[in-house]
Amino acid sequence: MDVSPEHLVEQARERFQLQDYYGAIHLLEEVLGTGRAFADAHHLLGLSYSLVGQSEQALTQLDRALTLNPQYVEALVHRAIVLNELGREAEADAAFRRAAQVGGEPRQGFAAHVAAKLANQHAALGDAYLEAGGLAQAIEQYQAALVLGPAFHDLRYKLGRMLLQAGRALDARDHFEIIVRARPAYLDAAAMLGLACYLAGDGLAAKDVWEACRERRPEDPRVEAYLAMLARNDVPQQVPPPVATAAGDPPSAGTGRSGRKKKA
């Protein structure tokens, strides 16, 4: 049975609390291998690497966490500590200053680091709802998370997938467009943007997005499959949207060109 990335991260946190940093690293590297790692996973992996004396690997993972979530105060602080350990004092000072600035920017009446923590807790509750079959409740929790952390694009990506599963292709398209504007290199989000466009009835926009993805990642079989589908016919009802499970598994069929579920 496949284990979700979220569950692996929870197991890694348990190993971390027991000071089994190598055990945490093993589990977190497994999460990275799924291709569905999120900011918390990279942060915890970076911290674990730091505590076993592998500072360069730690810095790489903390940088990845901050790419996904630029407002991640704890990652900024730990990055500054690692830079200081590496003797890169000027960069460490800059990272500490950035952490102080982010920590002082309120969001919805909460300090930024508190808002970030609450956003992640909303997301965790959303994952729990999703695993229990509560898609609508999961969407609500992820929407609440993004109010507190609008730059958390890993959470926005998961929300977009859930919206596709719910048949809300236009809403999903809006979220994927936000991600792609902020992070043009996030090609998984771009591929999902193409699918959202297609399911919303805009085949031309989907083709443009997928062709751009193919130029940047020609080896991606998923994009080739989408483009081949377009070349064969234009019947989006036959294309299943990706199921947004907590494990990030692909979705079941059931939405049509309008992004709404077909009537029986």
Residue-wise pLDDT tens digits, 211-232? 998 998 887 788 888 888 887 7
Provide the pLDDT confidence category of residue 210 given band limits of 50, 70 and 90.
Answer: very high
Provide the pLDDT confidence category of residue 63 given band limits of 50, 70 and 90.
Answer: very high
> Quick check: helix, strand or coil at residue 15?
helix
Query: Percent of the chain, pLDDT > 70?
Result: 84
Answer whether residue 258 shows pLDDT above 60.
no
- The whole-angstrom distance between residue 99's C-alpha and the CA centroid of its chain comes to 22
Provide the pLDDT confidence category of residue 236 given band limits of 50, 70 and 90.
Answer: very low
Query: Percent of the chain, pLDDT > 90?
Result: 42
In contact, 195 and 241? CB cutoff 8 Å: yes
* Pairwise pLDDT comparison (225 vs 3), residue with the higher score: 225
In contact, 76 and 49? CB cutoff 8 Å: no
Provide the pLDDT confidence category of residue 5 given band limits of 50, 70 and 90.
Answer: confident
* Pairwise pLDDT comparison (154 vs 98), residue with the higher score: 154
pLDDT of residue 229: 82
Domain spanning 153-264: which superfamily? Tetratricopeptide repeat domain (1.25.40.10)
Q: Which whole number is the average pLDDT over 50-60?
A: 93
pLDDT of residue 242: 57
pTM of structure: 0.57
In contact, 213 and 190? CB cutoff 8 Å: yes
The CATH number corresponding to 5-103 among 2.130.10.10, 1.20.1250.20, 1.25.40.10, 3.40.50.1820 equals: 1.25.40.10
In contact, 18 and 10? CB cutoff 8 Å: no
pLDDT of residue 85: 85
Six-digit token string for 91? 């960069």
Q: Which whole number is the average pLDDT over 60-72?
A: 88
Provide the pLDDT confidence category of residue 57 given band limits of 50, 70 and 90.
Answer: very high
- CATH 1.25.40.10 residue window(s) in the chain: 5-103, 153-264
pLDDT of residue 103: 58
pLDDT of residue 168: 95
Q: How many helices (H) and strands (E) does the chain have?
A: 13, 0
Provide the pLDDT confidence category of residue 137 given band limits of 50, 70 and 90.
Answer: very high
* Pairwise pLDDT comparison (79 vs 235), residue with the higher score: 79
Answer whether residue 107 shows pLDDT above 80.
no
Question: Which of 92-101, 105-114, 147-156 comes out lowest in average pLDDT?
Answer: 105-114
In terms of Cα–Cα distance, which of 25, 32, 37, 116 is closest to 70? 116
Provide the pLDDT confidence category of residue 131 given band limits of 50, 70 and 90.
Answer: very high
Q: Alpha helices of 104-168 — where are they, by DSSP H?
A: 112-131, 135-148, 153-165
Q: Which whole number is the average pLDDT over 181-190?
A: 86
Q: Which whole number is the average pLDDT over 52-61?
A: 93
